[in-house]
Amino acid sequence: MSTEIRLAGEGGQGLIKAGFILGESATVFDKKNAVQTSSYGVEARGGESSSDIIISDGKIYFPRVRHLDILLSFTQITADKYVNILKDSGKLFIDDDFVRVPKNYDGEVFSFPYIRTARSKFNLVIIANIIALSSIAYATNVVSIEALRKAVLKNAPEKAKDMNLEAIDIGISFCKQ
Amino acid sequence: MSTEIRLAGEGGQGLIKAGFILGESATVFDKKNAVQTSSYGVEARGGESSSDIIISDGKIYFPRVRHLDILLSFTQITADKYVNILKDSGKLFIDDDFVRVPKNYDGEVFSFPYIRTARSKFNLVIIANIIALSSIAYATNVVSIEALRKAVLKNAPEKAKDMNLEAIDIGISFCKQ
């Protein structure tokens, strides 16, 4: 049983880092296997930047995503572009302010104000990536919240650890509402 | 013109993190494009763990490595396994204590005591990953030392920044000897 995830958006949104953290959550802490591919395309120029992760209890035979179980989109263009490869049973996570539900998509949607909350709560837009990961983990169980917490702490600077833990709590609270 | 790199070894050697840092060096700081794929295979169980990076000035059309320009191996098994896809003009970087030059390989070899030096200098084996990245950057110019320095600092905890900078200097000094 494997799960295919794409975190899509543009450079500077922390989605490559998020993919790395999700991979560590799954492997180092949840003891599963994973393949993670990050495309920086034109990240440095503010272009599309996305990270794919396949997580499996068993061996991963084909290392590229084909049919997504989970799509996170921080930009409209990536939501419109990749919703086509989201399974019927898939879950779409989008930023509530920056992304509308793509036309003709009638699957499950989680629309949360990731970026607005990161800005208003922490004055740091990039932490939206951790809030989003947390909402994904909580809503889908693709990784355990406990594993995510450990991986996030492992990768956060000392002085930002509390903020990162709070970001995880916010992601969970979005789902509980 | 694109460059294909594989960093190969086993779990706990920091090679996935190294791939992430190399990707950031190339894209965020050297303003190139990159695709990076990390396979955690059975990382959590101490098995093979490797990271591939393709770096290009232009668009990257095929996102998987085929013929390596650079191979770093921290284990014998990965050196023996992947040297076959190293180009004739490629460069092989191996740990001087843990890896022998694979049989029948007569290309260019850089054999340095990455792991031993990380242990003796810093009492921290995992920093061998940064020493290795630095030797690769210096010997091949695949990323600039300046970009590597910035990416390493961006990803190091505050209290480990000096150690990481020293690790970079050691990697350079290996190549100069």
Q: What is the pLDDT of residues B34-89, one digit of tens each?
A: 999 998 865 444 468 899 999 999 888 777 899 999 999 999 999 999 999 999 99
pLDDT in tens, A74-118: 999 999 999 999 999 999 999 999 999 999 899 999 999 999 999
DSSP state of B22: H
CA gap A116, A120 in Å, rounded: 6
User: Mutate which of B22, B30, B37, B49 to test chain A, going by most A C-beta atoms within 10 A?
Assistant: B37
pLDDT value, residue B41: 63
Average pLDDT over residues A4-15: 93
User: Mutate which of B39, B62, B152 to test chain A, going by most A C-beta atoms within 10 A?
Assistant: B39
- Res A4 pLDDT > 60: yes
Q: Retrieve residue A76's tokens.
A: 């409209």
- A36 near B CB under 8 A: yes
Least confident of A53-57, A120-124, B59-63, B162-166: B59-63
Q: Tell me how far apart the terminal alpha carbons of chain A are, to the nearest angstrom.
A: 29
Q: Which fold has domain B2-176?
A: Pyruvate-ferredoxin Oxidoreductase; domain 3 (3.40.920)
- B56 near A CB under 8 A: no
ipTM: 0.83
pTM reported for the whole predicted model: 0.90
How many angstroms away from the CA of B176 is the closest CA of chain A?
31
Say which amino acid occupies B102. Answer: P
- Res B157 pLDDT > 90: no
Strand partners, B66: none
CA gap A30, A27 in Å, rounded: 6
A153 and A176 Cβ atoms separated by less than 8 Å: no
pLDDT in tens, A17-76: 999 999 999 999 999 999 999 988 654 444 688 999 999 998 887 778 999 999 999 999
CA gap A32, A58 in Å, rounded: 7
CB contact under 8 A, A38 and B31: no
B3 band by pLDDT with thresholds 50, 70 and 90? very high
| Higher per-residue confidence, B123 vs A46 | B123
What proportion of chain B, given as a percentage, has pLDDT over 90? Answer: 82
Chain B residue nearest residue A156, CA to CA: B157
Q: Where are the domains of chain A?
A: 2-176
Q: Retrieve residue A168's tokens.
A: 């995880």
Residue A124: what are its φ and ψ, rounded to 5°?
Answer: -150, 95
